[in-house]
Structure 1
Amino acid sequence: MTLSPNQRFTYNDLLTIVQQIPTPMFISEVTDAHHITIKESNLAVVKITGYPKQELLKMSPYDLIDKDLLRKASFDQKKISEDTPFMFESIITKKDGSVTPVLFQVIIITLSQNKKYSVTLIHDITDKRNTEVLLEKTHQQLESLFVYNPDLIFMLNKQGDFTNVNPANERILLYTKHEMLLMNYNDIIYEEDLESTNQKFNEVLQNATVQVELRVYNKAGEILTLDITAVPTINDGQVTGVIGVARDITFEKEMAKQLQESEQRYRSIYENNIDAVLSFDLNGCFSYINKATEQLMGYTAKELIGTPFLPHIIPEERKRTAEEYAKVEQGIAVQYETCMLNKQQEFVYLHVTVIPIIVDGKLTGVHCLGKDITEKKKFEEKLNYMAYHDYLTALPNQHYFHHKLKELMETEHSLEPFSIFFLDLDRFKSINDSLGHEYGDKLLKKVAERLQWYTPGNATVFRYGGDEFIVLLQQTTLSKTTEVADQLMTSLSQPYDLEGIDIVTTPSIGISVYPQDAQDSKTLIKKADNAMYHAKRMGKSNYQFYHDSMHSKIQGNIELESLLRKAIKRNEFSLFYQPQIGTKSNQIYGAEALIRWNSHELGMISPAEFIPLAEESGLIVPIGEWVIREACQQVKNWQCANLPLFPVSVNLSIRQFYQSDLIPMIRKIIEETGIEPHYLELEITETMAMEAESATIILQELKNTGVKIAMDDFGTGYSSLNYLKKFPIDHLKIDQSFVKDISYDKDDKDIVSTIIVLAHNLNMLTIAEGVETAEHVAFLKEHKCDVLQGYHFSKPLPPQEFESWLKNWVKSENE
């Protein structure tokens, strides 16, 4: 019978038919193998799953399958893309959490406009397979044999596509399971092994079991060697694929190769090694030494063979050396640093590796490799001294003070009283401005000498920074503290002879006492600082003990802080730019952006006055953001004007550096201004990097944005070399305090040259600040400093004047 057009089924008729089918059935739209959405289902699906139809139409078929089973199930995903009907057994997790074992029968249909749909029939197979057996036995077998196997287990279809892999594949090959299920084994085979691998694969498809060693690439591009046993997968007597078990033997193969070369290497290590290589017998006596050992120790082999090594170690290191040697006698290799005396009785520092000689499971002797680190030790001692001491006065610096204070408060005698004297020189700025920095430095040296001369033996003097000093007076009383304060006021108020000029500068001293004023270092220092500012407000040239009625320094600057808060809205800030010149090309390398504040009420205000206040009040965060945005916009303006492009550096404050939204803020500014990220350089200080672990993370995130990073004022603070070498830093900036006297000061010459060598060893470039004379330029070029910045080239200039300078510089270089 033929239906007339009026008798054809309507869409609703078709839905009615689907709903009446007793077998659970749903229809899904297939976007790709991973994106399948249920579009229609019958009432039988609602009944078997417990999900209302409205919920089912928002789900994927994968949502119905038990998640743990889905993770382990094998799917030949090409069948979906090839419109091939297929079936598989699984477990449905109902809405109430209960499970039912089922057989999924899937038919893929392609309709108009190449839209794909799948029709899925669900057959309840509870009677066929007991749920508990499926969940327990199958799961346990899979877990033990598949999931937890340390070797790689993989399944391939006949085309060589991965259909399942165990977790060991992710650990060894570094691909996720999802990535591997979209790959063919040919994708990872080493090229030279591809032909033989294909041959072995075909043998397995011919119902053979093969064992083969072959090389593969992991996701990182590394070549691994695998020992693979492959067997055919048999279904109804037909080979349907391959199952393989692979063991990573890369290390074993490498060891075998090393063993083949061991004799040559062994001899080369001894005879040709530039480091000391020697052997001891079980009594700790020399049994063999190479030429480098003779040169290092100053003795001939004849003088040393048969004699004990321990007497050559300095006395204070012998006990530890004996303890380390005892570990080697137990079969443990050790590494450590020690010190010995050579034949000339000179100290020689060594990094030694001591290795037990094991033959047939028995200790027969000891090998020792010794690297001379004497120069390195001297270098580290010099850097350590620089890190903990002020370059100008040779006093312990601020970092040393914090270290000492922490140590003092954490000892078992931590409740013993001590006093902190926070000392600031009155009128120092006017002296410095009128006579020059040279005289200011000489004055600071003489103040440091007097402080050391007139403080008692239980006191330590520190230069805290600028014209600020701290005296730490231990094991003291209130009366003794007062006595020392009177002595300091008297001695420091006497005139200083600076090359025939009598200079008088009096101190203002603030004193806090532990533990009565505070029991933590931060508060104790702050209270001494507040007391010092109170002494200044009391007319200077006096000392004050801290008391709670004192107003803090911040409170004393309420008016200035109020004006500072309005400065951004009033557009009172501007940026000046100071050029940086490359020593090799003599062309502009970059420029540093320096902030200036022209207050409507107070006129020009020095950054030295408002930056500390901005730091304390937190205003440095919005000001710092304005500086970064303004600098980036200026780079864009120069780009639009077809001027040469170069990085512009901006100083980051410690508050900005640890600001949670620093990275998003910088990315946003770069995107909005439209500049390339490498044209922005962010300058940090060594103080920011003291929290090395968190600093490393922040610096790496900054580096990932594409900006450059410089460490400013290097050498005036503290950086652990262990972390400095890990920081992603492009430039070390040598502080101008080191540069200004390099023409005649040997210490400054040594410091600058050391910093340059250190930077280059760490693959960083150096920028010298404060370059003011031709002699400065000649010295820095001679010692291979990379970039120069200072008044010798130009003072900081506003943008228009900087552009004129830039054009003249480029023109002069091209003539």
Structure 2
Amino acid sequence: MLEEKSLRDQLQDKYVSVINHNMDPIITINKEWQITYANPSVHTTYGYKAKELSGRSILNLVTDVSSNQFHELIRGGFLGESIDVDEIYIYKKNGEYLQVHLKAIPVSTEGEVTELHLIVRDTSIDQENNEKLLYLSYNDQLTGLWNRSAMKEHFVTDSLNANKNAERLFLIHLGLDRFKLINDSLGHTGADTILMMVADRLKLICPQMGRLYRKGGDEFVITLQNNCVAEIERLAQRILNDFSKPFYLNQQEYFISASIGISVFPVDACKFEELLKKSEQALSFVKDRGRSQYRFYQDEMNSIVADEVLMESHLRRAIEMDELRVYYQPQVDLKTGTISSFEALLRWSNRKFGFVSPAKFIPIAEESGLIHSIGDWVLNQVCKQLKEWQEKGYRPVRIAVNISPKQFRVETFAENMQEKIESYGIVPSSLEVEITENALTSVHETLTILNTLKEIGVMISVDDFGTGYSSLSYLKKYPIDIIKIDRSFIQDIGLDDKNKAIAKTIINLAYYLNMEVIAEGVETELQASILLAANCQKAQGFLYSKAIPVDELVDKYLLKHVIV
């Protein structure tokens, strides 16, 4: 008997220990619904000490004593059922109350339920977390705007309302132009700050009846139910006008333009994903044609985008299918008429699209990242050609190769150039690296690459001179050998005194900096004579020759000048 009593005492101690150390509040009540015990967590959560609750009715702690759920819980518990309910509110000592999940555990003595343990679990935190999760599900974390999921859900209601009211639903899709430059310049933290400023500006512009979303990245969407196209056009133009004003960060001005594509329900599409896709196509159309404008979706945009996707697929196999060729355009000495340099120009003839203009496929190569493999292929072809001419004893010539800004910014670009020159065994000065002004934005990085190229012995030229943002400043900083005057200054040089003055200024500037000048796009004798009078050294353009294949170049310009 003593052993049995000792065992019962041990079990009782363990039982009490489990209750006392439970993180959830546990309240024990008798059959009269009076509180007989409360564990320490009750005090921690609700502020009551055990002696303050002893003998009180559990109904004193429940906010809605008439709750059917609560009464069923207690009655069921004393009938031996283990029941739990949600959304019961329990008073704290300070008068506040918490939403709880309540579970009744029957306590039996000799087969009869004499007490109930009520396990009280605070669900207000869960509810708060659920509300946070719901917010994050439908709101952009950075800007607080609605996100794409919210847009998709709202579309169901908005499209129904538009149909009901015989109105249209406009989807105004905004993309920031060249935002990657902001990201690269300011880093993610600074760029995120700018995006929040953009969101705040759009909130002020968005009509009261419209909805504003951040689709992701640097893209935002306004949806608006209306029937007036002119009103939508005014809104789009207002957005563009507002983006002509600077954004200020750390007392520095930043100008960010935007492009807009607009699709219309139910005219362009009736399903959300399709309508969004068509606004994206309209946006891409604007970005490809100068940016900082708005355009409504049109059916031909769909075919343009489809063609570009298919064209990218074909471009990926252009090298493998032997569809690429390097052509060469001669650069003529204006004083002597001799030719000692050429520009290498890439040509693509595809089995489906036929001859594809570089203006069409080069941007696709840039966007897709194919420019790296294609650019490397061009360099190999030119080096191979120079080596062949060198071995055959042809007179020395220089070949200029256009280098994409993306190629140029690769850390190993200069090292790769040196490897090719050494591998093919060509004279370094016979190779000219032609870069645009856009490739010269990062001063330290650019200077390092250019200095390495100069040490190798490669010639360096700047293409499209005068069309960038910092022409004069980098002429002083960088080791540049040749300036190429952009064709936009040459076209009307005989008619436009300003263009003539600009061309002359560039030529004089290059002369004093000991740089060579080549004029691009020369098509008339008048243009050539004006450039000659201004002491421009070289010119290239249709007046002299279009770009020609290598065999024709050899026959016309190299075979007559074999070194014996």
Shift in Å at residue 615 of structure 1? Answer: 0.3
Partner Cα distance (1:771, 1:684) in 2: 20
On the 8 A contact 1:636/1:673 being kept in 2, the answer is yes
On the 8 A contact 2:408/2:439 being kept in 1, the answer is yes
**Match of 2:529, as an amino acid?**
A
Residue number among 469, 478, 486 corresponding to 2:233 in the alignment: 486
Partner Cα distance (1:760, 1:701) in 2: 24
Partner Cα distance (1:537, 1:786) in 2: 40
Q: Is residue 348 of structure 2 the alignment partner of residue 581 of structure 1?
A: no
Partner Cα distance (1:535, 1:528) in 2: 4
Shift in Å at residue 664 of structure 1? Answer: 2.1
Deviation per CA, 1:631-673: give whole Å up to 9, x if none.
1111122223332221100000011001122122211211222
Partner Cα distance (2:468, 2:422) in 1: 34
Partner of 1:750: 501
Deviation per CA, 1:16-57: give whole Å up to 9, x if none.
xxxxxxxxxxxxxxxxxxxxxxxxxxxxxxxxxxxxxxxxxx
Residue number among 271, 281, 292 corresponding to 1:533 in the alignment: 281
Q: Is residue 540 of structure 2 the alignment partner of residue 789 of structure 1?
A: yes
Partner of 2:201: 417
Partner of 2:393: 642
The verdict on how the C-alpha distance between 1:718 and 1:535 changes in structure 2, with shifts beyond 3 A counting, is closer
Q: List aligned pairs for 1:755-770, cutoff 5 A.
A: 755-770=506-521
On the 8 A contact 1:736/1:768 being kept in 2, the answer is yes
On the 8 A contact 1:587/1:810 being kept in 2, the answer is no
Q: TM-score normalized by structure 2?
A: 0.50
Identity of aligned residues (%): 36
Shift in Å at residue 587 of structure 1? Answer: 1.4
On the 8 A contact 2:490/2:503 being kept in 1, the answer is yes
Shift in Å at residue 689 of structure 1? Answer: 0.8
Partner Cα distance (2:534, 2:501) in 1: 11
SS class of match (1:687): helix
**Match of 2:281, as an amino acid?**
Y
Partner of 2:446: 695
Q: List aligned pairs for 1:645-684, cutoff 5 A.
A: 645-684=396-435
The verdict on how the C-alpha distance between 1:752 and 1:523 changes in structure 2, with shifts beyond 3 A counting, is closer
Shift in Å at residue 488 of structure 1? Answer: 10
Partner Cα distance (2:470, 2:407) in 1: 19
Partner of 1:543: 295
Residue number among 435, 443, 462 corresponding to 1:711 in the alignment: 462
Deviation per CA, 1:449-501: give whole Å up to 9, x if none.
xxxxxxxxxxxxxxxxxxxxxxxxxxx99899975763699x9xxxxxxxxxx
Shift in Å at residue 556 of structure 1? Answer: 6.8
The verdict on how the C-alpha distance between 1:596 and 1:411 changes in structure 2, with shifts beyond 3 A counting, is closer
Partner of 1:447: none
Partner Cα distance (2:412, 2:285) in 1: 39
Shift in Å at residue 804 of structure 1? Answer: 2.0
Deviation per CA, 1:584-625: give whole Å up to 9, x if none.
332113000000011133221111111001000110001001
Partner Cα distance (2:312, 2:239) in 1: 23
Partner Cα distance (1:672, 1:522) in 2: 46
Partner Cα distance (1:567, 1:583) in 2: 37
SS class of match (1:580): strand
Partner Cα distance (2:194, 2:284) in 1: 32
On the 8 A contact 2:260/2:294 being kept in 1, the answer is no
The verdict on how the C-alpha distance between 1:759 and 1:524 changes in structure 2, with shifts beyond 3 A counting, is closer
Partner Cα distance (1:488, 1:577) in 2: 49
Q: List aligned pairs for 1:136-175, cutoff 5 A.
A: none
**Match of 2:317, as an amino acid?**
K
Shift in Å at residue 552 of structure 1? Answer: 13
Partner of 1:55: none
SS class of match (1:567): coil
The verdict on how the C-alpha distance between 1:477 and 1:746 changes in structure 2, with shifts beyond 3 A counting, is farther
Partner of 1:459: none
Partner Cα distance (1:633, 1:649) in 2: 14
Q: Flag structure 2 segments of 5+ consecutive residues without an equivalent.
A: 1-176, 204-221, 263-276
Partner of 1:602: 353
The verdict on how the C-alpha distance between 1:650 and 1:528 changes in structure 2, with shifts beyond 3 A counting, is farther
**Match of 2:421, as an amino acid?**
I
Deviation per CA, 1:179-227: give whole Å up to 9, x if none.
xxxxxxxxxxxxxxxxxxxxxxxxxxxxxxxxxxxxxxxxxxxxxxxxx
The verdict on how the C-alpha distance between 1:691 and 1:642 changes in structure 2, with shifts beyond 3 A counting, is same
On the 8 A contact 2:465/2:471 being kept in 1, the answer is no
On the 8 A contact 2:261/2:294 being kept in 1, the answer is no
Partner Cα distance (1:756, 1:780) in 2: 9
Q: Report which structure shows greater RCO (CA 8 Å, sep ≥6).
A: 2
The verdict on how the C-alpha distance between 1:413 and 1:628 changes in structure 2, with shifts beyond 3 A counting, is closer
The verdict on how the C-alpha distance between 1:695 and 1:551 changes in structure 2, with shifts beyond 3 A counting, is farther
**Match of 1:693, as an amino acid?**
H
Shift in Å at residue 583 of structure 1? Answer: 2.6
Shift in Å at residue 809 of structure 1? Answer: 8.1
Residue number among 686, 691, 694 corresponding to 2:437 in the alignment: 686
Q: Is residue 379 of structure 2 the alignment partner of residue 631 of structure 1?
A: no
C-alpha RMSD of the superposition:
4.7
On the 8 A contact 1:636/1:674 being kept in 2, the answer is yes
SS class of match (2:317): helix
Shift in Å at residue 761 of structure 1? Answer: 2.6
Deviation per CA, 1:760-785: give whole Å up to 9, x if none.
23221110011111111111111111
Deviation per CA, 1:220-249: give whole Å up to 9, x if none.
xxxxxxxxxxxxxxxxxxxxxxxxxxxxxx
Partner of 2:124: none
On the 8 A contact 1:716/1:735 being kept in 2, the answer is yes
The verdict on how the C-alpha distance between 1:478 and 1:678 changes in structure 2, with shifts beyond 3 A counting, is farther
Q: TM-score normalized by structure 1?
A: 0.36
Shift in Å at residue 557 of structure 1? Answer: 2.9
Partner Cα distance (1:711, 1:564) in 2: 27
Deviation per CA, 1:716-773: give whole Å up to 9, x if none.
1222523321211100100111111111111110111111122223221110011111
Shift in Å at residue 412 of structure 1? Answer: 11
On the 8 A contact 1:651/1:684 being kept in 2, the answer is yes
Deviation per CA, 1:518-546: give whole Å up to 9, x if none.
x99999858769947336889x998349x
Deviation per CA, 1:38-90: give whole Å up to 9, x if none.
xxxxxxxxxxxxxxxxxxxxxxxxxxxxxxxxxxxxxxxxxxxxxxxxxxxxx
Partner Cα distance (1:757, 1:479) in 2: 59
Partner of 1:106: none
**Match of 2:295, as an amino acid?**
Y
Deviation per CA, 1:79-108: give whole Å up to 9, x if none.
xxxxxxxxxxxxxxxxxxxxxxxxxxxxxx
What is the number of equivalent residue pairs in this alignment? 330
On the 8 A contact 1:512/1:524 being kept in 2, the answer is no
Shift in Å at residue 705 of structure 1? Answer: 1.4
Q: Is residue 344 of structure 2 the alignment partner of residue 560 of structure 1?
A: no
The verdict on how the C-alpha distance between 1:793 and 1:658 changes in structure 2, with shifts beyond 3 A counting, is same
Partner of 2:86: none
Partner Cα distance (1:477, 1:760) in 2: 57
Q: Is residue 522 of structure 2 the alignment partner of residue 771 of structure 1?
A: yes
Q: Is residue 343 of structure 2 the alignment partner of residue 592 of structure 1?
A: yes
Partner of 1:42: none
The verdict on how the C-alpha distance between 1:599 and 1:583 changes in structure 2, with shifts beyond 3 A counting, is same
Shift in Å at residue 712 of structure 1? Answer: 0.1
Which of the two has greater helix per residue? 2
Q: List aligned pairs for 1:376-525, cutoff 5 A.
A: 416-418=200-202, 483=230, 486=233, 525=258
Residue number among 460, 467, 472 corresponding to 1:721 in the alignment: 472
